[in-house]
């Protein structure tokens, strides 16, 4: 499965929820599908997208938070799985696109190419619901399941090691940051 096809499958869900992505390929792919003020592209600090998502989910229990993580990024902060499992906010969906590669830097294989299994690691860390998907249909079904019944979920999706033609977002980092903050402020004042 191509990650961009997986994103297309769930774009209507992403539009409705708070979304945090890692840097590089997935940020550019989501941006190209259509930017929204509820999307935050964390264009650095590798590994911390899930920690940022945890902070959001704990602070905004009435909102669904979706994190779009990558295998290389998650491998840089494996402890996050234990922290997610420990506090398990039911409104957090942690999606890991595992392409067994550091695609955004030109593609070096990661440890998942030689057998490391991130879904098993999430299970062993105690994440309450761990799902896996290899096709767009499985992916859509897993996301639907995770959003239908509250429960902190890590969804590991196997995708091909390919990225977008361009990594450029026509959006300054700080513009994204202030727009995202303003969006969340307006959510709070309207609720």
Partner 1 sequence: MPVSLEGARRIYEALKACDIRLVSALPETWLVPLLRLVEADQEMRLVQVAREEESIGIAAGAYFAGLPSIHVMQNHGFLAAINPLVSLAMLYKIPVLLLISYRGSWGERDPWQTQGGLLTEPVLRALTIPYYCLRREDDLTRRLKEAQALALSALHPVAVLLTREVLWEDEEP
Ligand X SMILES: Cc1ncc(C[n+]2csc(CCOP(=O)(O)OP(=O)(O)O)c2C)c(N)n1
Residue 157 interacting entry, from partner 1, ligand X, none, C-beta within 5 to 8 Å by type: none
Angle (nearest 5°) at CA 6 between 92 and 178: 55
- Per-residue contact flags (x/-) with partner 1 for residues 51 to 90, judged by CB under 8 A: xxxxxxxxxx----------------x-xx-xx--xx---
Task: Provide, rounded to whole angstroms, the least separation between the CB of residue 45 and ligand X.
Answer: 8
Which span sits near partner 1 by CB under 8 A: 29-37, 95-103, 136-144, 175-183? 175-183
Which span sits near partner 1 by CB under 8 A: 45-53, 96-104, 115-123, 126-134? 45-53
* Tokens at 17, concatenated: 């929820």
Whether 82 and 125 have beta carbons less than 8 Å apart is answered as: yes
Residue 182 interacting entry, from partner 1, ligand X, none, C-beta within 5 to 8 Å by type: none
Size of the site for partner 1 (CB under 8 A): 34
Whether 81 and 109 have beta carbons less than 8 Å apart is answered as: no
Residue whose CB is less far from ligand X, 9 or 69 = 69
Residue 51 interacting entry, from ligand X, partner 1, none, C-beta within 5 to 8 Å by type: partner 1
Q: Which of 93, 10, 9, 4 is nearest to 50 (CA)?
A: 93
List contacts with ligand X (CB under 6 A).
22-26, 44, 46, 70-73, 99, 101-105
Residue whose CB is less far from partner 1, 1 or 122 = 122
129 phi/psi in degrees, rounded to 5: -135, 120
Residue whose CB is less far from partner 1, 8 or 167 = 167
Applying CB under 8 A, which residues contact partner 1? 40, 42-45, 47-60, 77, 79-80, 82-83, 86-87, 173-174, 177, 180-181, 184-185, 188
């Amino acid at each position: 499965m191509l990650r961009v096809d997986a994103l297309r499958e769930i774009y209507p869900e992403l539009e409705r929820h708070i979304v945090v992505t890692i840097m590089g390929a997935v940020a550019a792919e989501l941006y190209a599908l259509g930017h929204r003020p509820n999307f935050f592209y964390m264009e650095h600090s590798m590994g911390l997208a899930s920690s940022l998502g945890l902070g959001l989910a704990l602070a905004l229990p009435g909102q669904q938070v979706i994190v779009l993580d990558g295998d290389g990024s998650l491998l840089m902060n494996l402890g996050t799985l234990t922290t997610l499992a420990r506090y398990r906010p039911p409104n957090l969906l942690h999606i890991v696109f595992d392409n067994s590669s550091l695609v955004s830097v030109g593609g070096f294989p990661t440890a998942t190419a030689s057998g490391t299994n991130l879904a098993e690691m999430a299970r062993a860390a105690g994440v309450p619901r761990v799902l896996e998907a290899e096709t767009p249909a499985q992916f859509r079904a897993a996301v639907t399941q995770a959003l239908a019944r509250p429960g902190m979920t890590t969804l590991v999706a196997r995708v091909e090691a390919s990225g977008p033609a361009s990594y450029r977002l026509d959006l300054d980092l700080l513009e994204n940051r202030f727009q995202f903050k303003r969006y969340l402020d307006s959510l709070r004042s309207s609720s």
